[in-house]
Structure 1
Amino acid sequence: TTETDPVRIEHEVNRMLPPGELGPFSLRLILHGRRVCSARRPRCGECPLADLCPSASV
Structure 2
Amino acid sequence: MKQIRLLNLKSEKIMGWIVGIALIVLVFFSSSIIERHLKDIKKQNNELIKLLKEKNSEKS
When normalised by structure 2's length, the TM-score is 0.31
Higher helix content, 1 or 2: 2
Structure with the larger RCO, 1 or 2 (CA within 8 Å, 6+ apart): 1
The structure whose Rg is larger is 2
